[in-house]
Structure 1
Amino acid sequence: METTGTAQRTAWEQRSLPPVEQLRSDLWSVPVPIPHNPLRYVNVYLFALDGGGLGLLDTGWESEAGWSALTEGLASVGGSIADVRGVLVTHLHFDHLGLAARVREASGAWVAMHPADADAVRRLTATEAQAAVDAEVAFLVRLGAPREEALGDVGGAENLSGFHRMAVPDRLLGDGDHAAFPGWTLRAVHTPGHTPGHLCFAEERTGLLFSGDHVLPRISPNVSSTTGGSADPLRDYLDSLAAVRDLDPSEVLPGHEWRFRGLAERTDALTAHHERRLTELLGAIREHPGSTPWDLAAHLTWSRPWEQYARRMRIFAVTETDAHLRLLASRGLVVGDGGAVPTWTLRPR
């Protein structure tokens, strides 16, 4: 792999926000901060459109700091929110979709995403916050969490209030569809896994690949089971990695961290990471048969000691463990006991 976003990587290493960068005469990257999050910022991409106006790929987390970063980034290239004609959204997560509603209200721009994530956004915006909390707690309990710990990790309804302000898209893009950005040939590539409707965008004229959270240069994106989500999200993700591996883009422009070249090498590394993780999980099940996903997560290797995991970080770890269990089950390597809170053992040979 070759790092092409050297200013982005330097800023990352210095724990600072990278600069707005002009990547081509008609394309810029604008970092929008994520509050209290180790990812630090989202790369928003700004396109100059033929005939006038601007297009956005993702928008950033909804916050005053995020809005300031976005509007100041637009101003730095001679534009404003009023110039935005359309917003492409790679996926439904708040750090990518959060500011889309405010952008649309200020500019009249359309907002487009994949139908699967659009359906999820409609459900989220129509669900009472407390009902969403109750559903997530119940899901964690089914994964083996003690109810009180699940309640503490999910937190109160106020933590989910922002979801009611998310933009329900007014345009849909399926696999192979082209975005309505005049002067660009942005082809949507459906890459489920991180979310059911995650989209990458292959720019056919320049060879650029906007990879969202599907392929990042340093970390593996979270792939988790969710309430009402895919039955086998990790299988979806690995299939999606294979689908983009041989695109051979001139450069990969991700949603976080820094730009790079070497997509095939990076997808191979991500695939190998998950295979190692599956092997580690099999070992944990062998040593602790009859365990729940909540129990098994504590026996896996994480970026810090398990005792330091709590709240959203622990939820992501447990639901990611469950996603790996589902893939092992679909491969016929483990079996659940079928109980209300399933426990897992190796499938007898």
Structure 2
Amino acid sequence: MKSLRRPYSEQRTTDLGGGVWSVPVPIPANPLGYTLVYAIESPSGPVLVDAGWNHPDAWLALRDGLASAGMDIREVRGVVVTHFHPDHAGLAGQVRQESGAWIAMHEADAALIRNMHDLEEGVQRDLRAGMLRRAGAGAVEVEEVTAHRQRPPALPDRTLHDGDLIDLPGRKLRTVWTPGHTPGHVCLHLEDADRLFTGDHVLPSITPHIGIYPYDRTDTDPLGDFLASLEKVAELGMLEALPAHEWIFQDTAARARVIGTHHEEKLTQLAALLAEAGEPLTIWEIAARMTWNRPWEDLPSMLRGMAAGEAAAHLRTLEARGAIRRSEGSEPVRFAVHS
């Protein structure tokens, strides 16, 4: 696919028609560059889809971007957060403080945020360190990855469920629960305009990170959830996609099926990698042998941690399908094909 991505410096607040605007909000020091925050007009004030990264530059971009569209940030009615990640939820609390707006989020991600607020920093660090050790990471990598901690976003006022209508007077905006990228990721179907705000679920040229945390969980299957969510979105038909990154595109269903095929191919490659290994491998060893956008040796520690999370998610799906098995009672945990 030919890239249509433009740097943040070339982005502008855009009238998309039908009472919908896009406002680019920068993500400092991140290759994604920006989050596209959407503002939907209503007689009682605009409702935002996502809010952007919690940073002074991002706040000014959001405030001034809305102003250029004729909207006052102090009149925002509500913020619907597609998922809890900081480039989406980070500024929601400041918008609420400024305007009194409600914040809405799916109940599964709201539960994660409550957990983040409740756990002390030292406890969180110890949990991450244990996860990394069970995956086979070395002592230096454990230290480097656990050194990073992000401040949790604001707790929502309202929790969403699949099929809920958003409090948006005069419009029909429906919650479509699409777990995978996070447990509570949602897309939002603007049914009166055949548009779908896709968050990070369906993006035009890249695929979202699908990881499992802790890496060795057996009670969930995020990639399996994601693949089912792609089918769910595809069944909505040829809607215009308004994603949180890159650019707006047509035919969400077609792109969702391409992404699903990509992950199925990755699962096939991973099963072949394990078969060729001839012995059980740790999650860290498997991640190091997989193909990423740059060599494993060149990945910073944080990206290695994310790569391991993605490897673990694919392993979990293969395990759930009965294609591979994990070693029982061993640490670090290891995986192999069925003999």
Is TM > 0.5 for Structure 1 vs Structure 2? yes
What is the aligned counterpart of 1:78 among 49, 70, 74? 70
* Count of residues in Structure 1 that have an aligned counterpart in Structure 2: 335
Q: Which residue in the other structure is 1:344 paired with?
A: 335
CA contact (8 A) 2:239 2:252 kept: no
Q: Deviations over 1:29-53 (max 9, x none)?
A: 0011111111111110011112x31
- Cα shift at 1:249: 4.1
Amino acid at match of 2:335: W
Matches within 5 A, 1:77-116: 77-116=69-108
The partner residue of 2:263 within 274, 278, 281 is 274
SS at match of 1:182: coil
Distance in 1, matches of 2:9 and 2:142, equals 34
Question: CA offsets per residue over residues 195-220 of structure 1, 9 Å max, x none?
Answer: 00000001110010000111001111
Structure 2 counterparts to residues 1-349 of structure 1, below 5 A: 10=4, 12-14=5-7, 16-50=9-43, 52-156=44-148, 159-160=149-150, 162-163=151-152, 166-227=153-214, 231-288=220-277, 289-338=279-328, 339-348=330-339
Task: Name the CA distance, whole Å, in 1 between partners of 2:132 and 2:71.
Answer: 45
The one-character-per-residue Cα deviations of 1:210-262 (angstroms, maximum 9, x if unpaired) are 00111001111000001379621100000100111121244100011111012
Q: Could you list the runs of 5+ residues in structure 1 that have no partner in the other structure?
A: 4-8
Give structure 2 stretches of 5+ with no counterpart.
Answer: none
Residue 15 of structure 1: how far off its partner (Å): 6.2
Q: Distance in 2 between matches of 1:321 and 1:250?
A: 31
Per-residue Cα deviation, 1:33-79 (whole angstroms, up to 9, x for no partner): 111111111110011112x3111110000000110110011110122
Give the superposed CA RMSD: 1.7
What is the aligned-residue identity percentage?
42
Structure 1 position 130, deviation (Å): 2.5
The TM-score normalised by the length of structure 1 is 0.92
* C-alpha separation in 2, matches of 1:145 and 1:263: 38
One-letter amino acid matched to 1:263? T
CA deviation string 1:158-188 (max 9, x = no partner) = x33x22xx21011111000000011110100
Distance 1:187 1:251 in 2: 15
CA shift digits 1:121-149 (9 cap, x unpaired)? 11112222222222112112111112321
Three-state SS of the structure 2 residue aligned to 1:131 is helix
Checking the alignment, whether the CA contact within 8 Å between 1:153 and 1:310 is kept in structure 2 is no
Of residues 145-154 and 81-90 in structure 1, the stretch that sits farther from structure 2 once superposed is: 145-154
Q: Is the 8 A contact 1:85 1:107 kept in 2?
A: yes
